[in-house]
Amino acid sequence: MKLGVYPGTFDPITHGHTDIIARSLRVFDRIIVAVAHNPSKRPIFDVAERVEMVKLVTKDFAHVNVEAFDGLLVDYVRRHEAHAVIRGLRATSDFEYEFQMALINRKLDDKVETVFLMPSEEYSYLTSSIIKEVASLGGALKDFVHPEVAERLRHRLRRPIQ
């Protein structure tokens, strides 16, 4: 059984993330969505809230588990005996950073592979940062995130969202 780990901050989870999860299930038998604590990114939702939102959004996906993680990704992958790390590439601008991360992970543990997947074109511009900015300005989010995620953003940012 091939197991992939899809790590990220998911602050919040977007349709782009969900698209990568769906694509990953074409390659892997099972996926762990590993929600990183990552305080350096200054998330607006704590890790428990982010895990809860990812579980909500992925509840209809068979073979997807969601859990929080902290520490080195390679240690997490090794502990779970996963076959690869899954990363989404939206544009060429993502490639340099993701390539560096894949190489450092390989240096830390040469058994950890990284699989890059591209989202559907309709999500290729989506980032959690952009979604938070749109939400903070009261913009419509229905095309970008699950309705419950939009509601949580609205409540957190105390802005009416269309």
User: What are the catalytic residues?
Assistant: 17, 41, 90, 128
Q: Nearest 10 degrees: CA dihedral of 78, 48, 35, 20?
A: 130
The 10 Å Cβ neighbour count of residue 26 is: 7
Cross-strand partners of 36: 69
Distance between the two ends of the chain, CA-based, in angstroms? 43
Q: What's the rounded Cα separation, in Å, for the pair 23 and 46?
A: 27
